[in-house]
Amino acid sequence: MIDRKKQKERKKEGIPLTNIINTELQGQISRIKFKSEESGWSVFNIIPEDDPLNEICITGTAGYIEEGDLVAVQGHYEKHKVYGDQYKADVIIKVLPKRAKDIKRYLIKNINGVGEKTASRIVDEYGEDTFDVIEKHPEMLSLVSKISKKKAERIAEQFAKLNMSRQEQMFFIRLGLSDKQIAEIKKKYEDDYMKKINENPYCLIEDINGIGFKRADLIAKEIGVPEDSPFRIRAGIEYILDQASVLKGHVYLPHDEVVASTAGEIHVENEKIKQEIISLIDRKRLVCENDNIYLAKFYRCEIDCAEKLKSMLKNSEYYETDTVLNRINAIEIDNDKELDESQRQAVMEAVLNKVMIITGGPGVGKTTTLDIVIKYLEKYVTDDIVLLAPTGKAAKRMSEQTKRPASTIHRFLASFECGVDEENDTDVIIIDEMSMVDISLFHMLLENIDTDTKLIMVGDVDQIPSVGPGLVLRDLIDSGAVPTARLTKIHRQATENHIVTNAHKINKSIMVTLDNKDTDFFFLNRGTEENALATILSLYTKVYPENLGIDPTDVQILAPMKKGKLGTIELNRVIQNAVNPKQEDKNELKKGDTLFREGDKVMHIKNDYGLEWRNGNERGEGIFNGETGFIRKIDKENEVMTVELDDGRVAEYDFEDTVELMLAYAITIHKSQGSEFPAVIIPVVKSGVPQLYNKNLLYTAVTRAKTSLALIGTEETVKRMIKNKSAEKRNTSLKERLTENM
């Protein structure tokens, strides 16, 4: 540390400060005069620790600093022709305070989610040892009142980033990485992380959450990786295949398509791409079969699923059919139910086979059939029956319909240790909304259940397919290898519901009647997007609540797409401003392009097994994709958003975790799978991607409505959607694998 007394003496004696070199200063930043966000070059004042009555002007590259930070700087004085003596810093490093009051101030200022009260509780508990606890024993933070395990981890992640060396900080700033990603990188690669990233930044794609090919490619460009680097080409190939699975649901792509698409994406000659495809095959990252290229993980999924199902199908049980029929009849009488012949046959198939499928559209009695199946199995076979669905919303609906507990497939798999010799030995597993199950999820399930388990799958094969890759339900049925019961008869009660009857017409490519005589199914002709939007707003805010007695919270807008005037983004903005406008007493949070406001309807959009919730005295973990609720509080001091879910559970989201939420006044039709809503509004003014406007999409949307459905748009668009039979084509091979060697 520079001797400030000698410095003053030299100044009095007329010795220029510029003659003092290689000095070091430490103090608190009192004012930042200039800071370039692009380069990081800054001009700021510090108050030295050993001379609090003085201020020194510092210049140097330190774009990450803020007023109030404690810093150590090393450099020398220079004479500026305008501003006089300035200290030019070669090194600027943040340092940690040692006194309890300064530690508290540091936490409030630097750690997101830590306000006055939280900081006080932490420092009161650990005092001058606070930083040591955060760095070395972060789990101890969860012992402090109102700090969850997840929040403790978040504090530790931020602290780790804040206390890197200047070289490290500047390195990561250049790369534009978040605190969480930096913490993950350091944990994954330990002391070799800078070397690892400089050698091959594309390793981040697989190893670090939130870093895809595009981001890794920008990092590679920043650190000077050549465009034709083998690392880049391999990553580009895998990116093309991954995008094909995410955006199109493909399990594989033809070889030539992989080459052409990769070349178009990364601008590298075809021959080099072909060479790296061979390299990736040798490395067992890709599989080539029949000149088709698979990501190895998806290839393995299809192979394993086919083999497991074949083994399960061999284990079909034997019962006297007459005995089974008599028992079914007895259960019908006991429960005052009367099955039609197709339903009775479906129950029979479920009893006799280890693996089977029940499929059919709305109103054909899938729920009634399933109820009889469960009652039969409970009475005559086993009470070890597990009910599953792909999403939390679908599981909740299944539970309501069957009056039995139901879980998500993910939660079921997480409830036991998954290992090679640790298969779950549940007697019967029943899966609802099977059309939503992709090949990866199906693989995880089959991998972890016993071969002797009875598997019953229920779903509407005519719904739009899963968001993830594969065409599982369709492939299982079309293979002919899995016994399938098709329910086709619409029951008397259902025929009185015009939503159900029109859904079946749409599925058969028959035009529906749009004369508005049916109060539960009506059409409003609006030729432009502007008029359609105005009508949707009127329906949502006035017509449904005032004329039809349906609360807006029970109304769901389903749109084919996210973007455009009738996409979910714009619809959410318009509806939000109408039903939950800006008010002084309502806190708001801007996250990316989304503005959240207290009172907003929101949807959780990913499975989060660690997110804590409470419901009265009950406590638990896990909020799942598709669950909806309302924002009850936005606490800016502690940076926490409180959401009350539809089932009464309450969860608190750190502001950083609100990326798991979206406004839900309007959602895409794909997001609605597995859910039902009292009233549904569907815009049908053709715009955007033509492929979206097809029969399957309209059919799926219509079947989401329980009591009222409104189509807003043009009759021509409705006709075109019904006539467009071009169901989403996907490259899969599960069907063929199931029939091999049979």
Which H helix or E strand runs over 502? helix 498-507
Q: Say if residue 483's pLDDT is above 70.
A: yes
The per-residue pLDDT for 568 is 95
pLDDT, residue 726, reads 73
- pLDDT (0 to 100) of residue 689: 63
pLDDT at res. 493: 67
Element (H, E) at 428: strand 428-431
Which range (57-61, 434-438, 669-673) has the least confidence?
57-61
pLDDT at 323 (0 to 100):
92
Residue 657: what pLDDT? 85
Q: Is the pLDDT of residue 700 over 90?
A: yes
Confidence of residue 99 (pLDDT cuts 50, 70, 90): confident
Q: H/E/C letters for each residue in 140-151? A: HHHHCCCCCHHH
For β-strands 588-591 and 594-597, DSSP reports them as antiparallel
576/422: higher pLDDT:
576
Give the torsion through C-alpha atoms of 377, 378, 382, 388, to 10 deg. 80
For the cut 60, the answer to whether the pLDDT of residue 417 exceeds it is: no
Q: Which of 219, 93, 97 is nearest to 164 (CA)?
A: 93
Residues forming beta bridges with residue 420, ordered by sequence position: none
Retrieve residue 242's tokens. 């991954």
pLDDT above 50 (res 402): yes
Is residue 376 scored above 90 in pLDDT?
Answer: yes
Residue 540 has pLDDT above 70, yes or no: yes
Sorted by sequence, the CB contacts under 8 Å of residue 695 that are 6+ apart come out as 506, 507, 509, 721, 722, 723, 724, 725, 727
Mean pLDDT on 8-30: 58
DSSP string, 223-280: TT--TT-HHHHHHHHHHHHHHHHHHH--SEEEHHHHHHHHHHHH---HHHHHHHHHHH
Q: What pLDDT score was predicted for residue 548? A: 87
Residue matched to tokens 């697989």: 206
Two tokens, residue 143: 């012992």
Backbone angles phi, psi at 153, to 5 degrees: -65, -40
**Tokens describing residue 424:** 């779950």
Task: Please report the pLDDT score of residue 146 as a whole number.
Answer: 84
**Lowest-pLDDT range of 42-46, 422-426, 530-534, 565-569:** 422-426
**Please, are residues 58 and 46 in contact by the beta-carbon 8 Å criterion?**
yes
DSSP state of 728: P
Range of weakest confidence among 112-121, 135-144, 194-203, 690-699: 690-699
Identity of residue 716: E
Q: pTM of this prediction? A: 0.77
How confident is the model over 45-97, as pLDDT tens digits?
999 888 888 889 998 876 567 787 888 888 888 877 766 778 888 777 777 88
CA distance 208 to 608: 17
Residue 402: closest CA among 389, 415, 411, 416: 389
Q: Residue 71 corresponds to which tokens in the numbers above? A: 């810093």
pLDDT in tens, 710-724: 999 999 999 999 998
State yes or no: pLDDT of 22 exceeds 60.
Answer: no
Which residue's entry shows tokens 């007459």? 322
pLDDT reading at 704 higher than 70? yes
pLDDT interval class at 516 (50, 70, 90): confident
- Answer whether residue 1 shows pLDDT above 80: no
User: Which two three-digit tokens encode residue 92?
Assistant: 């600027």
Percent of the chain with pLDDT over 90: 56
Whether the CB-CB separation of 572 and 578 falls below 8 Å is answered with no
> What average pLDDT does the segment 619-642 reach?
88
Q: Considering the chain, what percentage of its residues have pLDDT values greater than 70?
A: 91
Confidence of residue 37 (pLDDT cuts 50, 70, 90): low
The answer to whether residue 109 scores a pLDDT higher than 90 is: no
Average pLDDT over residues 500-526: 91
pLDDT at 688: 60
Dump strand ranges (E) for 545-665: 555-559, 588-591, 594-597, 601-604, 608-615, 618-623, 628-635, 640-645, 650-654, 661-663
Beta-bridge partners for 172: none
Cα–Cα dist 616/623, whole Å: 17
Q: Tokens 């469960």 map to which residue?
A: 374
Residue 505 clears pLDDT 70, i.e. is over it: yes
Burial tier of 326 (Cβ tally within 10 Å: 0-12, 13-18, 19+): exposed
**What pLDDT does residue 410 have?**
86
pLDDT in tens, 187-234: 888 778 888 898 999 999 999 888 999 999 999 998 899 999 999 999
Question: Where would I find the H helices in 267-364?
Answer: 270-282, 296-313, 321-334, 341-352
Identify which has the larger pLDDT, 59 or 296.
296
The set of long-range contacts for 290-296, using a CB threshold of 8 Å and a minimum separation of 24, is: 291/254, 291/255, 292/252, 292/253, 292/254, 292/255, 292/731, 292/733, 293/241, 293/252, 293/253, 293/254, 293/255, 293/258, 294/241, 294/251, 294/252, 295/238, 295/241, 295/242, 295/245
pLDDT higher than threshold 90 for residue 427: yes
Tell me the average pLDDT of the chain. Answer: 87
Give the integer Cα–Cα distance in Å for 651 and 612. 6
Range with the lowest mean pLDDT among 85-89, 169-173, 284-288, 683-687?
169-173
Question: What pLDDT, on a 0 to 100 scale, did the predictor assign at position 64?
Answer: 62
What is the pLDDT, as a whole number, of residue 19? Answer: 41
> Apex CA 356: angle with CA 351 and CA 357, to 5°?
120
**Per-residue pLDDT at 7 exceeds 50:** no
483: tokens are 């016994």
Which pLDDT belongs to residue 18? 40
Report pLDDT digits (tens) over 528-538: 999 999 999 99
Q: In this predicted structure, what is the pLDDT of residue 603?
A: 94
User: How much is the pLDDT for 684?
Assistant: 93
CA 711, CA 731: separation in Å to the nearest integer?
32
Cα distance between residue 144 and residue 123, in whole Å: 10
pLDDT number for residue 6: 46
